[in-house]
């Protein structure tokens, strides 16, 4: 398949997988190829990740769901992370990100790449900063060359997409301080880089060395996820000058990447009140030339710790309706602790519900017909069909099993409205 992208790695991926990817999405191969060439759709598939399932992100492919897992300095349990990775696959996540910040990060990452067919994403600055923090040194001491070496290493290992906080420029950080944000900088990568710039009196190394990062990404077909290091961490901070300064810069960087044959996505907010979600999504898409948009929530209320997966699913459904392409899940553990295995499962289900709701609102045929088929199965009291069509079939079967599989359910029993219509 000849594309105008000067990217032989991407072209070889398309040569091998285009037909299957398009068929899985119900799209035409030519349409997918055109969207990839235009940069409005990306293919997550590093040829170095053996067995990866190539995955399309961007219009008009279906909205995808990502799950973040990984260790932390206070909860570093390899067995639990392995269980979380298995749940990502069985619960229906489309991709997974390893956000580990404790333990042997190379071994963890290589283990995940070997164990999963899901495209794997990382945040390389964590690994560089971790070497300093583990040695009780200031991460502001890391060098540009160390950062590039880490990106190169992870690309060679097979990482499919990487968050790089290239838009956290000195000007944007200054704006975030002038604004007197309620929560300042809440992105770990953004905070590390703001500290680095302040201590070294220099521009963000990811921004300064962007062309070198593009060369690495192009050589391995790594998709760059241009991170939102200045995303709002409070509804009150949504839409401030620092956020938009970063978005505008990410749009410029996305255009530079496309010109070099590198695939990019844009990361989005964050905490955004419900009434502002549509405007945020539409403006970000506009400012980034319709690049695939990967949203972190957005969380529509700041007041629901323990239930943040619900607040994020509400925001994700609205964001997806107005153009977001990729939903990063939020779990019930958000703002409280590292997610456990059940938190991961609940977060994935919540985001998948948001994606299905958004796809339905967009009028996508598969989502609309799935809803219609579910409704018909309900009318027919066909419980197995309902389970098959459900976001979580195992849960449906388990709840039915608890009540002995009568034809009607325990909600109404003999008052079942469906059965009341028998013979009418
Ligand atoms: S018993 Fe009530 S809730 Fe259950 S299937 Fe019948 S009408 Fe629906």
Angle at 160 between CA 159 and CA 165, to 5 degrees: 85
Q: Ligand 1 pocket: which of 403, 404, 417 to mutate (most atoms <8 Å of CB)?
A: 417
For residue 408, what pLDDT is reported?
82
Phi, psi of 380 (to 5 degrees): -90, 0
Between CA 84 and CA 329 the distance in angstroms is 14
Determine the distance separating the centroid of ligand 1 and the alpha carbon of 33, expressed in angstroms: 46
For residue 252, what pLDDT is reported?
97
Q: Which fold has domain 8-363?
A: TIM Barrel (3.20.20)
Write down the mean pLDDT value for the chain: 94
Cα dihedral 58→60→61→67 (10° resolution): 40
Determine the distance separating the centroid of ligand 1 and the alpha carbon of 413, expressed in angstroms: 7
Between CA 327 and CA 296 the distance in angstroms is 6
Helix (H) or strand (E) holding 321: helix 308-321
Between CA 351 and CA 316 the distance in angstroms is 7
Determine the distance separating the centroid of ligand 1 and the alpha carbon of 343, expressed in angstroms: 30
Query: What is the three-state SS of 68-83?
Result: EECCECCECCHHHHHH
Between CA 412 and CA 318 the distance in angstroms is 33
Any idea what DSSP says for residue 27?
-
For residue 405, what pLDDT is reported?
67
pTM: 0.95
Asked if residue 338 lies in contact with residue 324, where contact means CB atoms within 8 angstroms, the answer is: no
Between CA 374 and CA 175 the distance in angstroms is 50
Query: What digits encode the pLDDT tens for the residues 165-182?
Result: 999 999 999 999 998 899
Low-confidence stretches of the chain (pLDDT beneath 70):
1-5, 405
Between CA 131 and CA 179 the distance in angstroms is 32
For residue 86, what pLDDT is reported?
98
Domain locations along the chain? 8-363, 366-421
Tokens of 161: 């997409």
Residue nearest to atom 6 of ligand 1 (CA): 416
Cis peptide before 282 (omega within 30 of 0): no
Q: 409 CB under 6 A from ligand 1?
A: yes
Helix axes 29-38, 8-25, angle to 10 degrees: 130
For residue 404, what pLDDT is reported?
74
């Amino acid at each position: 398949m000849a594309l105008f992208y000067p990217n032989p790695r991407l072209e070889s991926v398309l040569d091998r997988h285009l037909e299957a990817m398009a068929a899985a999405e119900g799209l035409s191969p030519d349409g997918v190829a055109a969207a990839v060439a235009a940069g409005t759709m990306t293919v997550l598939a590093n040829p170095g990740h053996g067995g990866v399932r190539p995955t399309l992100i961007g219009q008009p492919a279906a909205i995808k769901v990502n799950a973040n897992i990984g260790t932390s300095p206070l909860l570093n349990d390899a067995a639990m992370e392995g269980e979380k990775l298995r749940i990502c696959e069985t619960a229906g996540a489309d991709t997974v990100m390893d956000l580990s910040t404790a333990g042997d990060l190379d071994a963890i990452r290589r283990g995940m790449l070997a164990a999963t067919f899901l495209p794997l994403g990382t945040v390389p600055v964590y690994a560089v900063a971790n070497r300093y923090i583990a040695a009780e040194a200031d991460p502001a001491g890391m060098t540009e060359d160390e950062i590039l070496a880490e990106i190169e290493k992870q690309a060679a290992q097979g990482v499919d997409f990487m968050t790089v906080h290239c838009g956290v420029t000195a000007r944007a950080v200054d704006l975030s301080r002038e604004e007197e944000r309620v929560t300042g900088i809440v992105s770990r990568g953004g905070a590390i880089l703001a500290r680095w710039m302040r201590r070294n009196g220099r521009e963000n190394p990811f921004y300064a060395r962007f062309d070198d990062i593009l060369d690495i990404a192009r050589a391995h077909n790594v998709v760059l996820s241009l991170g939102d290091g200045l995303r709002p961490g409070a509804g009150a901070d949504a839409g401030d000058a620092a956020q938009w300064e970063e978005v505008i810069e990410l749009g410029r960087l996305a255009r530079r990447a496309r010109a070099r044959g590198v695939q990019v996505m844009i990361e989005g907010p964050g905490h955004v009140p419900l009434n502002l979600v549509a405007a945020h999504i539409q403006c970000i898409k506009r400012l980034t030339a319709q690049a695939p948009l990967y949203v972190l929530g957005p969380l529509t209320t700041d007041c629901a710790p323990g239930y943040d997966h619900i607040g994020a699913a509400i925001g994700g459904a609205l964001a997806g309706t107005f153009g977001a392409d990729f939903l990063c899940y939020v779990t019930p553990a958000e703002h409280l602790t590292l997610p456990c295995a059940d938190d991961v499962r609940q977060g994935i289900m919540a985001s998948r519900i948001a994606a299905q709701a958004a796809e339905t609102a967009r009028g996508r045929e598969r989502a609309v017909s799935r809803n219609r088929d579910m409704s018909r199965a309900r009318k027919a009291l066909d419980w197995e069909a309902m389970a098959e069509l459900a976001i979580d079939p195992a849960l449906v079967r388990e709840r039915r099993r608890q009540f002995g599989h009568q034809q009607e359910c325990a909600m109404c029993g003999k008052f079942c409205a469906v059965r009341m219509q028998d013979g009418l």
